[in-house]
């Protein structure tokens, strides 16, 4: 009797593959082990993913979508400054709480993996969201001489560097609150550097009225009543 179709098999494959990558790394993943863990043959896995590389690409895209959703969530903050701040914290939290997904996006190279321009853009969507928000912040505040792409890369490097150092155990602390505090310190100094490079704004002096206007205004004033002599 044929086995009934499993409508959730594709999602089950992704979940199982992610767990195996967490245990053995991307290089140690095999289609046979994915199938065996789920109680299926490798042939059943190949019906959903053409190759191991195809399966890993699906995981990378899934990870990118989840991180982009975090960035989108930060856009609900009431101000641009708070949005950028929330994006940094959400990035850090995503990497620290989902290290396998994080490494799949940024660190695990897959030999033979072919990525289309559309897929690459999808995996970089989180960066694009942050760049769009930063560009709007620069425009709203009238900042001059700022390359939004370059500064977006600076912010990304701060968040990515801290996340990678934390995951590698290279920071002198491991509490999320301390990692977030270090991020806030770094970004605060970045903002100071951005603002320090801006030209000073001086208020325009109000033009003095012509002399004939001054005389006319003086004539229009009501006369000052003389004080009465006190008895």
Domain presence at residue 96: yes
Q: Which own/partner contact pairs does 205-209 have at CB distance under 8 Å and 24+ positions apart?
A: none
Mark whether 33 and 93 lie in a shared domain: no
Q: 99-119 b/e with 16+ CB inside 10 Å = b? A: ebbbbbbbebebeeeeeeeee
CATH value at residue 186? 1.10.357.10
Along the 231 residues of the chain, how does pLDDT read in single tens digits? 456 678 899 999 999 999 999 999 998 999 999 999 999 999 999 999 999 999 999 999 999 999 999 999 999 999 999 999 999 999 999 999 999 999 998 876 777 788 899 999 999 999 999 999 999 999 999 999 999 999 999 999 999 999 999 999 999 999 999 999 999 999 999 999 999 988 876 544 455 555 555 555 555 555 545 444 444
Mark whether 26 and 120 lie in a shared domain: no
Domain presence at residue 64: yes
CATH value at residue 2? 1.10.10.60
Kindly tell me the burial class for residue 17, based on how many C-beta atoms sit within 10 Å of its own C-beta (0-12, 13-18, 19 or more).
Answer: buried
Domain presence at residue 87: yes
User: Residue 223: which region, alpha, beta or left (left: phi > 0; alpha: psi -120 to 50)?
Assistant: beta
Domain of residue 145, residue span: 60-196
Mark whether 183 and 121 lie in a shared domain: yes
pTM surpassing 0.85?
no
């Amino acid at each position: 009797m044929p086995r009934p179709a499993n409508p959730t098999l594709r999602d089950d494959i992704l979940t199982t593959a992610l767990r195996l990558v967490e245990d053995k790394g991307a290089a140690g993943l095999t289609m046979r082990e994915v199938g065996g863990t789920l109680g299926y043959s490798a042939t059943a896995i190949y019906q959903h993913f053409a190759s191991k590389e195809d399966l890993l690409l699906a995981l990378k895209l899934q990870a990118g979508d989840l991180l982009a959703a975090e960035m989108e969530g930060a856009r609900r903050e009431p101000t641009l400054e708070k949005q950028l701040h929330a994006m940094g914290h959400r990035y850090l939290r995503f990497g620290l709480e989902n290290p396998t997904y994080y490494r799949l996006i940024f660190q695990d190279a897959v030999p033979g993996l072919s990525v289309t321009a559309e897929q690459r853009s999808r995996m970089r969507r989180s960066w694009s969201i942050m760049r769009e928000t930063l560009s709007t912040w620069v425009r709203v505040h009238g900042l001059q001489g700022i390359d939004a792409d370059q500064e977006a890369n600076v912010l990304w490097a701060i968040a990515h560097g801290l996340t990678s150092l934390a995951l590698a155990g290279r920071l002198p602390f491991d509490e999320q609150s301390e990692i977030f505090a270090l991020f806030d310190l770094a970004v605060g100094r970045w903002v100071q550097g951005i603002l320090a490079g801006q030209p000073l704004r001086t208020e325009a002096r109000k033009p003095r009225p012509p002399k004939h206007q001054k005389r006319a205004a003086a004539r229009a004033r009501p006369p000052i009543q003389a004080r009465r002599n006190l008895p």
